[in-house]
Every structure is written in C-alpha cells, then in structure tokens.
Amino acid sequence: MLAVALMAGALMFVGARPAFADPECGTVESGDGKFVYQCSENVPGDDGSGGSDGDGGGGSTKPACDLAGVKESAPGADEWYCQGQDACWVNNPTARYPDPKDWPEEPPSEGAVYVYKSCTAPDGTKTFDDYTWYTGPEDEGPSIEELALQAFGALETPGFSLAHSPPRNSIIYIDTWWWADGPSNGEISSGAALGVVAVGTPSHIEVDPGDGSGVMTCDFVTSESDACSYTYDRAGDYTSRGRLVYDVHFEQNGSPLDIAGLPDSLESGWQESAITVAESQAVVVP
C-alpha cells in the first residue's frame, strides 16, 4: 500500500519541470581595495545554434562547470546543470523506481519529483549518484565553494594613506622611510555566508618609490620606522604609491576550511603620495 501511495504521489509531481538559471559568480575589484561578488545569469538551452557561450543553445553566459562530459556520458538524461563546480544530470521522471523500502516517506516540498541524480566533480569523482527527491537546481543551495567566494567578496581592506619620512623633501643618498598610516596590525574578516567566513591576516605592504626602480616588498609597517626604506639617487618630483597585502584563509562555524582553488590573498587599492627629492647642499664656512 505504501509503495502504491508513494508511486501515485511521485507521478502527481512529475508534471512540474522547473525552469532554472545557473549563475556564474566571481569577485571583481571595485576600487579602493574593495571587492564585489557578482553573478551573471546562465539560462541553459538545448544543444544547437543560438548559444552565445557554453554548452546550452540558449545560454547567455558560460556555465560554471563543464557540462560536456556529463552530456556525453548521460545522453539520455532529461536535465543537465551545474551545482557549484559539479556537473549534474537527472532523469526527470526517473526511468525506473527503486524498491519500496528505499523510498523516502514523503516529498520534502510541494512539487518535488523522485528522480535519479548523478553529479561529478571537476576531477572526475562522483559526488552524488542515487535516487532522491528533486525540486530543481535552484533549490540545491550554494556550494561550499560559492559560500567561500561570497565571504571573500565581502572582505574589505581598511583605508590608509602612504606616509614617508622626511615628510616633505627627501634627499638623495639618504634613506626615505615608508609606512601605511591608518590601519591596524590586526586581522580583517567578512560577514558570515551561512557560517563561512573569510579572514585576512596582514602579510606585507608593497611600495613603488615612483622613480622607475619598481615595486619593493616590505613588512606590514603601520607606524614610522626604518623597516621599509629606500634611497633615491636622483633629485626630482615623484609620485610614490603603496598598497596593503593580506593572506586569506576561510573558516566554517569557527573551524578551518581548506578547499583547493580558493583565493589566498587580498590586496588593497594603490594609494599615492607625492614626494620631492632634493640634492644636498654643502655650505663651506671660512
């Protein structure tokens, strides 16, 4: 009786074939050391002409995963979609049903369909391969990688100014000191994305003296000291610049989260500072 009732419930839900959109997401720099997490919508379509990018003919952007492999291995599937970086397919409705003892007691939500679902990671390993209730990929929720990228996108570097000593005119062949004025030496962190947090630890500062010598790497200096110094050998007016660099790691509910491929550093925007370098003048006193 239970099997008959469940079968009837499943067939009742089969008519709902949800349309879905798969977003391609990532972080882009918006300036002043801030990063914004953005997603572009990808609406899968049938294979064939009309596709602007990706495997689906109606796709408006490239899918976030490689669907070509699963389409080749499961050509008879009804739907293919990306779940994070995993490529998934389902038979909707399933071609056959499992034994009654393997059926769940009831669907998790209205419109759920009992399907056979298979997902493959980018390295080829199976991440899911079983019967399950299915309401469409939009209800799968973000993957742990997507949550980490959301947290990274919310991570902001503090404001600062590039300071130097001497504060006005420097002198050739005399050390000029540099430091980041304003930020603390403490960690920075993002808001939690469903328990996932990005944490930035001060790593170093990068300073370009502006005379063509290139960028130098210094300790994370936030107060006047000789830890970051440079000697000009030509007089002139220069525009120096500097930025903060943080090492980034991720945590989930307070525990370390180690996932390959996630960003491991964050740089602030460049801050400029004008500096005049003069020649020393010797005065001979009789």
Which CATH number fits the domain that encloses residue 232?
2.60.40.10
Beta bridge partners of 186: none
Any idea how long the chain is? 286
Compute how many other C-beta atoms are within 10 angstroms of the C-beta atom of residue 111: 16
Taking residue 123's Cβ as centre, other Cβ atoms within 10 Å add up to 7
Domain with 27, as residue range(s), is 2-7+19-141
As given in the structure block, the two tokens for residue 3 are 């099997």
pLDDT of res. 282: 53
* Structural domains counted in the chain: 2
Which amino acid, residue 164? Answer: H
Q: Are residues 267 and 158 in the same domain?
A: yes
Query: Tens place of pLDDT for every residue, the chain, 286 residues?
Result: 333 333 334 333 333 333 333 444 444 445 454 444 444 444 333 333 333 333 333 333 455 678 888 888 888 788 888 887 788 888 877 777 777 777 766 777 777 788 888 898 888 888 888 888 887 765 556 778 888 999 999 999 999 999 999 988 899 999 999 999 999 999 999 988 778 999 999 999 999 999 999 999 999 999 999 999 999 999 999 999 999 999 999 998 888 998 888 999 999 999 999 999 998 765 555 5
Same domain for 203 and 124: no
Within this chain, do residues 135 and 207 fall inside the same structural domain, yes or no? no
DSSP state of 73: H
Does some domain include residue 283?
Answer: no
Residues 192 and 234 in one domain: yes
- Per-residue pLDDT, 37: 43
In a domain, 108, yes or no: yes
Residue that terminates a domain, selected from 94, 120, 141: 141
pLDDT of residue 143: 79
Query: Are 39 and 158 found together in one domain?
Result: no
Asked if the structure places residue 244 within a domain, the reply is yes
Residue 284 within any structural domain of the chain? no
What is the rounded end-to-end Cα distance, in angstroms, of the chain? Answer: 117
Where among 141, 162, 181 does a domain terminate?
Answer: 141
- What is the per-residue pLDDT for 207? 98
Last residue of a domain, one of 108, 141, 174: 141
172 within a domain of the structure (yes/no) = yes
Task: Indicate whether 85 and 174 sit together in one domain.
Answer: no
Residue 62 inside a domain? The answer is yes
Q: Are residues 252 and 186 in the same domain?
A: yes
Together in a domain, 162 and 270:
yes
Q: Provide the whole-model pTM.
A: 0.55
120 and 126 Cβ atoms separated by less than 8 Å: yes
* Domain presence at residue 13: no
Q: CA 41 to CA 16: how far, in whole Å?
A: 22
Whether 79 is covered by a domain: the verdict is yes
Looking at the fold, whether 114 and 168 belong to one and the same domain comes out as no
Q: Is the same domain home to 134 and 95?
A: yes
Query: Can you tell me the distance from the alpha carbon of 212 to that of 214, in angstroms, rounded to the nearest whole number?
Result: 5
Q: Are residues 129 and 166 in the same domain?
A: no
Whether 124 and 218 share a structural domain = no
